Amino acid sequence: MRLDILTLFPEMFSGYLGQSLLKLAIERQLVEVNVINLRDWATDRHRQMDDRPFGGGPGMLLMAPPVVECVEEVQGRGGSPGHLVMLTPQGRKLTQQVVEELAGHERLVLLCGRYEGFDDRVRQILAPDEISIGDYILGGGEVAAMTVVDTVIRLVPGVLGDEMSSRQDSFSGPERLLEHEQYTRPREYRGLSVPEVLLSGNHQEIAAWRRKQSLERTRQRRADLLGDE
């Protein structure tokens, strides 16, 4: 999978890209990540990317020409233009289902906003897939883009050691339940014991117990996932 991240703050990604799962995935060439500085497409000598909104109002907007031209040029590089994602609180909400959909693309181009947002013509011209990571306002799209990258690369074949583990996570699988509780050594800690059934070696019983736990947890904590709030 190829990811191109377009941002005014490329340095924000350096620590993140150099860590753990993503670092390994890049080293093993399962994922290619390019971070591109939007400001390189600024046209004036001050390298200005933003300006005040027509009609007044607070804050600054990213101007359409440098953003559109950057996206077009980056999408023109390499084989396919890929799937363009704009990170914005006005997008459809990122869920595991949306993550699975995004992971189906060979290439994603992630466009991060800053300030109060983009001149709307960016959206009108490029028709991006607008994605929000939740109903709150971030300082910019960078943390949202990292969230997309983090969630998507786990689904790239070979990135997780154990292929099963991503399928068993909360929100995964056909039912989209919360994951059951889990235990490891020691068998007893501060008077709390590991449930007997998990030590029984009876795989059928363990599976049944886990499913019951999953359903119970989901009902208690996230009834909305069961569709009966």
Give the residue numbers annotated as catalytic, written as ranges: 89, 116, 154, 169
Q: What secondary structure letter does DSSP report for 116?
A: T
Q: How far is CA 167 from CA 60, 162, 179, in A?
A: 42, 10, 10
Which one of the spans 128-136, 162-170, 186-194, 203-211 is the region binding ligand ADE (CB under 6 A)?
Answer: 128-136
Q: Residues 87-116 vs ligand ADE: string with x where CB under 6 A?
A: xxx-----------------------x---
Which of 134, 173 has the CB closer to ligand ADE? 134
Following CA atoms 178, 183, 208, 224 in sequence, which dihedral angle do they give, to the nearest 10 degrees? -10
Tell me the closest approach of the beta carbon of residue 90 to ligand ADE, in angstroms.
9
Residues with Cβ within 8 Å of residue 146, at least 6 apart in sequence: 13, 16
Cα gap 175→152, rounded to integer Å: 19
The residues in 132-151 that bind ligand ADE, with binding defined as CB under 6 A, are 132-134, 136-138, 140-141, 144
Number of residues that bind ligand ADE (CB under 6 A): 13
Q: Which residue from 131, 150, 151 is spatially nearest to 141, judged by alpha carbons?
A: 131
Tell me the closest approach of the beta carbon of residue 140 to ligand ADE, in angstroms.
6
Q: What secondary structure letter does DSSP report for 199?
A: G
Q: Which residues here bind ligand ADE, judged by CB under 6 A?
A: 87-89, 113, 132-134, 136-138, 140-141, 144
